[in-house]
Amino acid sequence: MYINEPSVIVGVNQNIFAEVNVPYLRENDIKLVRRSSGGGAVYHDMGNLIFENIVVGDTDDDAEWGNYSVFAQPILDALHELGATDAELRGRSDLVVNDHKFTGMTMVKSGDAYAAGGTLMFDMNLDAASQALHPVESRINGKWVKSNRSNIENIRLHLAPEYQNLSSEAFKEQLLLKLFHVEKLSDIETYHLSDKDWQIIDERLAEQYRTDDWNYGENPGFNRYRFKEFAGGRLALNLKVEGTTITKVAVYGDLLDEKLAHKLETQLTGASLTAEDLSHRLSKRWLKKELSDEEITALVQSY
C-alpha cells in the first residue's frame, strides 16, 4: 500500500489525448505514467491510496485471476470497521459508497503470477482529478468522443468521526492495522526492498516507464479511437486501420470482462470497414448477450 505524488496513470491501450488533459498536467507538474495493465485513466495525489496484492502460483484462499471480490472484501471489511459501513462492491471491480465510486480495481498477469489492486480515494483533490481527466481534444479522427467520467467521491466523510480528520498516512496505517488484525505496524511481516531490487526498478524506469515513447507514445501503434456508452457500461476501442482494413484492435472499458474483450478484439481484427462485414462480425450470440440489436447497429455506424 502506498501514496503517490500527483500523477495520472493510464491503461496500456488508452489514447492519451482522448482521455487526459495533457496541457493541464504539464502546467501543474503532474506526472503521466502508462501502466502495463488495462483499465481506464485514474488520478493519484497525496489523498489517494494505492493497494496491490501480488499472487504467485496457487493459493488456498480462493484468490484467482479475474476474481476481484476476493481482493475487494478485505478492504471493505477494514473500511466497515472504520465506520464506512455502506461501502460495497458494485459490478466486477468498483467499490462504491452513496452510489459513488471511491475505488477502481485492475489486474495484470505475468507467467504464473499476477497483481490485483486499485486506488482508494480518501481525501483526493476531486477538482484536480476532474481537470486532469478532462481531455482538451473533443474530436478525434473525425468522430465526436463522449467523455467517460464516473461519479466519484472520497471515503473520508463516510468514516467514523474519529477517523475523518486523519492525514492520508495515518489513514493508511489504520487501514493496514484493520487488514492484518494487529495492534501495531511492527506486528505485520514486512519485506524491505534490497539494493538489488532498487537497481532492477531503476533500470526498468529508465528503459521504459520514464520514457515519452512509452507514456505518450503512438498510442501504441493505433490510429483510430472509438468510445460508446451503452446501458450496460462503457466500451472503448483503439484501432489500427490500414486502408479500409482493421489490422489491430484493443478493447477496454467496463462493458465486457477481459475474456469477452479479447474475443471482440479477435472478431474485429481483419475486418473491412463496411457495414456488411462489421455487422456480420458483430452479430455473435455472446455479444448479443451484452448489447441489443440497436446498440450493435450504433456500434457499426460509429466506424
Q: What is the pLDDT of residues 60-77, one digit of tens each?
A: 777 788 889 999 999 999
For residue 201, what are the contacts with CB-CB under 8 A and spacing of at least 6?
193
Alpha carbon distance 275, 292 (integer Å): 17
Give the whole-angstrom CA distance, residue 303 versus residue 299.
7
In sequence order, the 6+-apart residues with CB closer than 8 A to the CB of 185 are 173, 176, 177
Q: Are 47 and 69 in contact (CB under 8 A)?
A: no
Of the candidates 194, 4, 158, the one whose C-alpha atom is nearest the C-alpha of residue 82 is: 158
Query: Looking at per-residue confidence, does 212 or 9 come out higher?
Result: 9
- CB count within 10 Å of CB 241 equals 17
What does the pLDDT look like over 238-297, one tens digit per residue? Answer: 788 889 999 988 887 778 877 888 899 999 999 998 989 999 898 888 888 888 888 888
* Residue 51 bridge partners (DSSP): 118
Helix (H) or strand (E) holding 79: helix 68-81
Handedness of CA 77, 78, 84, 87 (dihedral sign): negative
Residue located via cell numbers 468522430: 143
Give per-residue pLDDT as tens, 152-209: 899 999 999 999 999 999 999 999 999 999 999 999 999 999 999 999 999 999 988 8
CB 40 within 8 A of CB 253: yes
Beta bridge pairs of residue 249: 239
Residue 4 CA to residue 2 CA, distance in Å, equals 7
Compute how many other C-beta atoms are within 10 angstroms of the C-beta atom of residue 93.
Answer: 21
